[in-house]
Chains A and B, each alone.
Chain A
């Protein structure tokens, strides 16, 4: 993985023209997370040779990774800015319910067809935009703005849910789309893959992406160099909101119904994945592909422990332990760097 920061810094830190032993070391350094993921897969395959390394299980893991991957793209961009988006779950719930109620469903007569997906995403983008505007215009820390906006999202979801029964999507049609397969993998995974690919292209090859890194690395310097910091921050928060919206739509589509709090548990999972992937919470370092590895690591740990027959009573503790071990392994090559840890 190259450092997109390189385009902005005068002397790129990691640009050795020839493949010296040092650059091989660099591959190891940056691939620590990938190696940890590989090790997890190998260990679980050895423990459960019959059930873990199967095609069905690969499909299951990738399908389950799809929602956190989509959220992860938005969350990574926001964290690269040096901000954080805690509104993910609330936005997912609001957008999921809006989508279901505007599709053919058991409760309302509205049926916007595919436009319902667009409305779900737009609602997410709108709430994300609100996150960005409040954060930049009123200069309020992003964690508190997005925490509040998350509750706004839950509030919208509760209002839409009302006192009535759980709304179900009409049978057939759109509900089957996420689990239908293309090239052996589910549509939800391919959707996530497309979102990740777009995210990578945006973060590496566009001005928005490069400025995101620059702002996260040092907002003052970016500002002094004429970067319209506020505008880019608002744009990134809007993208984050749209990703949460899409994730809410996808989850309800998979489930075929819209519980009022559909996103519960997703926030911790994605932020953990971003951090495990190696993106710095301080901003400016990391990337979407790293988050992808983080998401896969967490999904594999959860799935692998189930296959290994670990009792649910100890699974939480074991998965935490495995997680710490994986992070240690991933960050082992970085240990000698001069860094201040807080």
Chain B
């Protein structure tokens, strides 16, 4: 009896000692592998691109850009598929960082709130990270140190203005319905704000209703059906916050047998390019920006910081919270933009030649945060 008691005591002491040892190692590992360990040798770097899912055309293009840059820099590339979930995104990124590689990371975040945990993980692992599209408003790279190299995006307000203008001018007067993305998405909110503000210049054009269609072609199809039932032939134009939704909306209009309705939207996805090349094209306005450009710019900025070619702490704020140019595309100037898609490697060459902030057609145009009109 007493033997077993003392055994238990010894066991407990052993467990406690092990736990204390584990805790000490854990603490030292967090504080030890510090962030500012100096530039990383080029050969050790892994490029990692984290995307929301792999089937959306924009995210697929993100992956394409990361792979093209990896090929050019002769570095391995890993892709993180968040499968639409913040939890999966964060845990997969943490798993890659824990492998001990020197990571240069591009993250197209699932939600703004994912940024702090991702950046904290990067700081601990000494990785260099660029975030695209979404971050909390008051969480700035310059407050977080060099491992959060930059936050980058294309202006949503400019996108909304551009597509609103082409649509309004094309219909002259009449009603428009707008399909927004997921409601709490800053990208969608800024694009809608740009649309609404620009339409103030067109008093004959009436914004009948803004409906969220969650970036989803199927939901856009249904919402458009509902709008057609509600407004009928008052609808002269349909605006959408991205091309996935305009594809659904156009299908609903075609199936309802309506003619003469004009469309404008953001993203210039390949199916939309095909429609715009047809003689009876109803898509009058688009914007040009590319997933492969975003991921390549993001990864290249972080890569320059990792190799010590730029020092994030010395960069002006606009290069750490950056807005890149978004161009207006109409059927007339379509070819000026589609040429980039035919030669992605050529564009990557010009990125490396000109640096992340001066590469056409997406040079830096200003600093964030984006101001709503």
Binding site for B on A (CB under 8 A): 51, 54, 56-57, 59-60, 63-64, 106, 158, 161, 163, 165-166, 168, 176, 178-179, 251, 254-257, 259-262, 264-265, 302-303, 306-307, 309, 312-313
Which residues of B have CB within 8 Å of A106? 271
In the assembled complex, the CB of B148 is this many whole angstroms from the nearest CB of chain A, namely: 30
Which residues of A have CB within 8 Å of B226? 60, 64, 302-303, 306-307
* Chain B CB within 10 A, most for which of A63, A106, A166: A166
What are 10 pairs between A and B in contact, CB < 8 Å?
Answer: A51-B231, A60-B226, A166-B217, A256-B251, A259-B217, A260-B53, A264-B216, A265-B219, A307-B230, A312-B212
Which residues of B have CB within 8 Å of A63? 225
Do the beta carbons of A163 and B63 come within 8 Å of each other? yes
Q: Which 9 pairs across A and B sit closest by C-beta, in order of nearness? A: A260-B55, A179-B255, A57-B229, A60-B229, A256-B251, A161-B55, A306-B226, A51-B230, A312-B212
Do the beta carbons of A165 and B271 come within 8 Å of each other? yes
Residues of B145-204 whose CB lies within 8 A of A: 180, 183
In the assembled complex, the CB of B250 is this many whole angstroms from the nearest CB of chain A, namely: 9
B218 within 8 A of A: yes
In the assembled complex, the CB of B61 is this many whole angstroms from the nearest CB of chain A, namely: 10
Do the beta carbons of A158 and B55 come within 8 Å of each other? yes
In the assembled complex, the CB of A145 is this many whole angstroms from the nearest CB of chain B, namely: 21
Interface of A, secondary structure class, is helix
Closest partner residue, chain B, to A307 (CB atom): B230
In the bound complex, how far is the Cα of B225 from the Cα of A76, in angstroms?
A: 27
B238 within 8 A of A: no
In the assembled complex, the CB of A303 is this many whole angstroms from the nearest CB of chain B, namely: 6
In the bound complex, how far is the Cα of B56 from the Cα of A161, in angstroms?
A: 10
Which residues of A have CB within 8 Å of B271? 106, 165-166, 168, 257
In the bound complex, how far is the Cα of B44 from the Cα of A186, in angstroms?
A: 61
In the bound complex, how far is the Cα of B226 from the Cα of A190, in angstroms?
A: 19
B338 within 8 A of A: no
Closest partner residue, chain B, to A305 (CB atom): B226
Do the beta carbons of B228 and A255 come within 8 Å of each other? no
In the bound complex, how far is the Cα of B247 from the Cα of A256, in angstroms?
A: 9
Do the beta carbons of A255 and B251 come within 8 Å of each other? yes
B126 within 8 A of A: no
Closest partner residue, chain B, to A264 (CB atom): B216
Question: Quick one: CB contact mask for B33-55 with A, threshold 8 Å, 1 for yes?
Answer: 00000000000000000000111
- Other than A106-B271, A166-B57, A256-B251, give 13 A-B pairs with Cβ distance below 8 A: A51-B229, A64-B222, A158-B55, A161-B55, A163-B63, A251-B218, A255-B217, A259-B217, A259-B218, A306-B211, A306-B223, A307-B230, A309-B209
B60 within 8 A of A: yes
Do the beta carbons of B221 and A312 come within 8 Å of each other? no
Closest partner residue, chain B, to A309 (CB atom): B209
Do A262 and B218 form a contact, CB below 8 Å, given A179-B255, A255-B248? Answer: yes
Closest partner residue, chain B, to A60 (CB atom): B229
In the assembled complex, the CB of B307 is this many whole angstroms from the nearest CB of chain A, namely: 29
Do the beta carbons of A60 and B228 come within 8 Å of each other? yes
Which residues of A have CB within 8 Å of B256? 179
Please tell me which one of the listed residues B222, B228, B244 contacts residue A56 in the complex, with CB atoms under 8 A apart: B228
In the assembled complex, the CB of A13 is this many whole angstroms from the nearest CB of chain B, namely: 41
Do the beta carbons of A312 and B54 come within 8 Å of each other? no
Please tell me which one of the listed residues B180, B216, B270 contacts residue A165 in the complex, with CB atoms under 8 A apart: B270
In the bound complex, how far is the Cα of B212 from the Cα of A51, in angstroms?
A: 20
Do the beta carbons of B60 and A163 come within 8 Å of each other? yes
Which residues of B have CB within 8 Å of A257? 217, 247, 251, 271
